[in-house]
Amino acid sequence: MSSRPKPNISGTAKEARKLAPTELLILALISHGHAPTLYALQKETLLSAGALVPALAKLNAKGLLHAEPLGPRKRQRFRVAKDVMKKNEEKWKSSAQDHIADCDAVLKLCKAAEIFNLPEAVEYARSAAEFRASERRKYTNKNGEIEAPELNPFSYRSYRDVARFYQLQAEEHTLRAVEAALKTDV
């Protein structure tokens, strides 16, 4: 009797088709010639090789990305098949709402959408900013004004609450700027 591991069947077929924000950004950058090598991807995304190499391997295994023969200086170039690009709008839409609370993911998805020329990116950036605005409304005082919570120097939880307030504020401001920029680009 062999004890083979059981296959992982926790995800649905739809979830299997979804791509992570980093994967969508990589596909967008490579497909439009912005970053066809690992080095160029590192420069453009500010991600380490340790983060990019597994994502590239996953995209290659899914058949979405192809590694070309080594070029000058032994640099590996990547390309995306044309038929893959036609499906990216659907992949972007199916992935976007799952990541609205993660600002870094929203920024990656907005950049990918800008490259793919998806008008939905403007509304997505607006939704992400509104999500943060609604989270900040939880910090409404007795006068109905949104303000940072009081800092209690003896409470770590207090530190976290203050940090969360300012993080939400900064992310909302950033996403409003991204929204404005996308309005002019898309």
Q: In terms of pLDDT, which residue wins out, 14 or 162?
A: 162
Can you read off the two tokens belonging to residue 152? 């209690």
Return the residue matching tokens 């990019």: 52
Quick one: pLDDT at residue 69? Answer: 80
Helices (H), 48-185: 49-61, 82-86, 88-96, 103-116, 120-136, 156-185
Q: Give the single-character DSSP code of 1.
A: -
Quick one: pLDDT at residue 54? Answer: 94
Q: What's the CA dihedral at 82, 85, 87, 91 to 10 degrees? A: 150
Tell if the pTM clears 0.85, that is, is over it.
no
Angstrom distance (rounded) from CA 134 to CA 21: 23
Quick one: pLDDT at residue 102? Answer: 95
What is the mean pLDDT of the segment spanning 33-47?
92
pLDDT at 78 over 50: yes
pLDDT in tens, 92-135: 888 888 999 999 999 999 999 998 888 889 999 999 999 999 99
The greatest distance separating any two alpha carbons of the chain, rounded to the nearest whole angstrom, comes to 71
Quick one: pLDDT at residue 17? Answer: 63
Question: Amino acid identity of 116?
Answer: F
What is the mean pLDDT of the segment spanning 28-34?
90
Where does the pLDDT of residue 3 fall: very low under 50, low under 70, confident under 90, or very high at 90 and above? very low
pLDDT at 22 over 60: yes
Where does the pLDDT of residue 4 fall: very low under 50, low under 70, confident under 90, or very high at 90 and above? very low
